[in-house]
């Protein structure tokens, strides 16, 4: 009997054709994402309190997993499904297409309490992350977001940012002790700002279930109080 381990010429041609179609599909998707690049922040209808539309994925509404502090539940969920990269977004994050694509603003580094400048390329923002955010007082896991591209924000664009957004970038650049100096450096371009574009590519139902299960277990131990103290909208990158 003739061995079937070697691909026939026709089968190889079929494989090449399928690969070509897949490459064409990926190029088309990339072309659709290209408009996200070079988006000026003043062109985004940004509001300090962005609209509180209930998030959904593929037509199904997403259930919030808590209204208190989310970080303990995130850790518990990761124990169940395994280590993953998650980012909690709030300040300095703008939705371009609500819950489907957005951009994060990051300063080029951070000034320590002792006055030491620590540069950062924010490598975590350049990979896939699970995104968690607070909407209408509730915390939601929105899905998995893939890095699309990044670009440095021109100084003139930074100077046109709303005051509160400039203040948020100052806060990300260092402690309150240095805010006046950091504001000056940002306004002169000594500290630069990078825009990281991302797009939702999936929703991990297992991780969502783990978050809801962790909350149910917590309620079973501590009763139905889900206040968990106040939680400011902050941006935190969790490993």
* Domain definitions of the chain by residue range: 38-238
Tell the residue number behind the tokens 């009763």, with chain if given.
223
Provide CB contacts within 8 A for 139, sequence distance 6+.
64, 65, 66, 67, 70, 132, 133, 231
Work out the average pLDDT over 138-142: 96
SS3 237: strand
Task: Write down the mean pLDDT value for the chain.
Answer: 82
Taking only the tens place, the pLDDT of each residue in 158-207 is: 999 999 999 999 999 999 999 999 999 999 999 999 999 999 999 999 99
Torsion, Cα 37 167 138 214, to 10 degrees, reads 90
- 235 pLDDT band, cuts 50/70/90, is very low
């Amino acid at each position: 009997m003739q061995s079937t381990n070697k691909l026939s010429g026709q089968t190889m041609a079929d494989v090449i054709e399928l690969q070509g179609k897949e490459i064409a599909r990926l190029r088309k998707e990339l072309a659709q994402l290209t408009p996200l690049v070079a988006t000026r922040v003043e062109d985004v209808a940004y509001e300090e309190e962005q609209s509180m539309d209930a998030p959904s994925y593929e037509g199904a509404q997403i259930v919030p997993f808590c209204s208190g502090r989310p970080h303990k539940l995130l850790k518990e969920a990761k124990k169940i499904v395994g280590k993953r990269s998650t980012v909690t977004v709030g300040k300095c994050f703008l939705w371009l297409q609500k819950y489907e694509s957005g951009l994060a603003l990051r300063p080029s580094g951070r000034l320590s309490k002792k006055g030491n400048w620590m540069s950062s390329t924010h490598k975590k923002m350049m990979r896939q992350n699970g995104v968690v955010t607070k909407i209408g007082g509730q915390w939601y896991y929105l899905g998995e977001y893939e890095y699309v591209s990044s670009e440095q924000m021109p100084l003139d664009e930074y100077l046109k940012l709303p005051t509160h957004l400039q203040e948020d970038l100052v806060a990300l650049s260092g402690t309150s002790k240095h805010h006046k100096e950091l504001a000056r450096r940002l306004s002169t371009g000594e500290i630069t700002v990078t825009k990281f574009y991302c797009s939702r590519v999936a929703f991990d139902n297992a991780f969502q279930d783990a978050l809801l299960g962790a909350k149910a277990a917590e309620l079973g131990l501590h009763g139905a109080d889900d206040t968990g103290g106040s939680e400011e909208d902050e941006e935190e990158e969790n490993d």
